[in-house]
Amino acid sequence: MKNMSPRKRNPVECLPLATGSQEKARGDDLASVYDRRLKTYDPAGDNVRKFLDLLAVRINRSLAVSLVACVHCGMCVDSCHYALTHPGDSTMTPVYKADQIRRIFKRRLDWTGRIVPWWVHAATPASDEDLNRLKNIVFGTCSACRRCTLNCPMGVDTASLVRFTRGLLTELGIVPEGVFNVSRDEWETGNQMAVTPLDYLGTLQWMRDDLRTDPKLSGLEIPVVRPDCDFMYTINPREIKFDPRSIAQAAKIFHLAGERWTLPSAGWDQTNFGMYSGDDRLGGYIARNLYEAAVRLRAGRIVISECGHGFRSTRWEGYTWAEYDQNIPSESVVRTLKRYLKEQRIRVDKSKNALPVTFHDSCNIARSGGMTEEPRWVLNEVCSNFQEMHPNRTENYCCTGGGGLLSMAEYRPLRLESAAVKARQLEATGAKLVCTMCHNCVDGLNDVVKHYKLDMKIVQVLELVENALVY
């Protein structure tokens, strides 16, 4: 960046921009590339100018306040798992990461930074190389867990600044390859794992048939496109692709509770990579698909399967991205389970879950979604040995796979280093089962458990409830 003295850089900041997938997408003449919904990198484009113009157009009031309000007090440092695990590396602190966009904002839009930039370290990116460095910082060194935001005395929302910066870079195609690939799949197929309608319907049928082998469940259905139901159930494509057991568990519980429910044929993906890439248009497209499916089916509510960012994007952010006023209530499936238990629509025996179990709060559900008590209430109903993790609820640490980091292989070594905090936290519980209500956290925590050789198994709430069922 201009006007900046050279400083020792973290190796992650220097990772190159990989564009193999982008070139292939252009070569394949994908519709999303052709009509410029999915942006690819143009080395001959005036990317710095475009970045600055986008910054000026897209910035909103709360982001502007977060950019001007930071006093560089350093209170956020000890809240970040990257900073805690790299105490000698000042580039790992939340304030350093936020300052990378802050200095550009100051140079471009703020008074003092425009007149005397050196006084406030305001700077403009000099080249695409600087934009690539910025990409590595906002995608590779932050899981957008919002822990620093909740620990900032000024209310600076660093996680939102990181997402905002990601969004600007996504518009220029300056993104990690994994982010490009998943965004491509979402734009092209309407779900983030490119699940085909055949795969989707075939897996549902397979789960239904599998469940029906139990004579007590012979009448069980996994209904698709049934109108006027109590709720429309929405899932994570990972459930179709890698772990359909969770669909079976949900279907079994809904059946035993006597629920009238349905899955949609389209708009079933409650995950949303627009949240991670910062692309509000993608976010709005995916969210709108889902909301409109619920309206088409005249569903009484939308129930979101266990997924952190899926819950946050479907329940909260998606309406804003899609510019869609919420007209149907929505809730996490964990809240649905709680209702069944409270109303005694299902019966459970907690002695069936005797192993010590602890609960990991998904950042997007606890810190950004406001749901911390329901999963604990349910776990206390279905487990005989629940042990709290410390810190917990809104102060819990990220599984370290958040922010879309699981899709960015190049940042994996740094991610696993920063996971030492989580590993110590898990180990201290003495639990054998770590329960979470997020598919992303399942994969993130599995990585932590494997890397740090912890004797633990990662499970989800549905799994434990289903295991405790008495019928």
413 binds other proteins, rule: CB under 8 A: no
53 binds other proteins, rule: CB under 8 A: no
Non-local (6+) Cβ contacts of 123 within 8 A are: 1, 2, 3, 4, 103, 104, 107, 117
469 binds other proteins, rule: CB under 8 A: no
150 binds other proteins, rule: CB under 8 A: yes
Q: Which of residues 278-307 bind other proteins (CB under 8 A)?
A: 301
Indicate which single residue of 68, 217, 454, 469 sits in contact with other proteins (rule: CB under 8 A).
Answer: 68
Indicate which single residue of 66, 124, 181, 429 sits in contact with other proteins (rule: CB under 8 A).
Answer: 66
Non-local (6+) Cβ contacts of 372 within 8 A are: 361, 365, 366, 392, 393, 394
> Could you tell me how many residues make up the chain?
471
Residues forming beta bridges with residue 387, ordered by sequence position: 358
Indicate which single residue of 78, 129, 209, 349 sits in contact with other proteins (rule: CB under 8 A).
Answer: 78
194 binds other proteins, rule: CB under 8 A: no
**Binding range to other proteins, per CB under 8 A, among 69-77, 130-138, 179-187, 427-435:** 69-77
- Which residue, 216 or 390, is less far from other proteins as judged by CB? 390
CB of 336 to other proteins, least distance (A): 10
Per the listing, tokens 């329960």 go with 435
Q: How far is CA 459 from CA 40, 318, 353, 437, in A?
A: 38, 27, 12, 8
Helix (H, G, I), strand (E, B) or coil at 387: strand
60 binds other proteins, rule: CB under 8 A: yes
Q: How far is CA 6 from CA 1, 88, 107, 386, in A?
A: 9, 18, 18, 51
Q: Under rule CB under 8 A, how many of the chain's residues touch other proteins?
A: 74
- HSE, CB side, 13 Å, CA atoms: give it for residue 19: 15
Tokens linked to 301: 């509510």
Q: Which of residues 6-35 bind other proteins (CB under 8 A)?
A: 7
- Which residue, 148 or 253, is less far from other proteins as judged by CB? 148
Binding mask 201-240 for other proteins (x = CB under 8 A): ----------------------------------------
Tokens linked to 431: 């639990």
372 binds other proteins, rule: CB under 8 A: yes
Q: Which of residues 331-370 bind other proteins (CB under 8 A)?
A: 331, 335, 338-339, 366-370
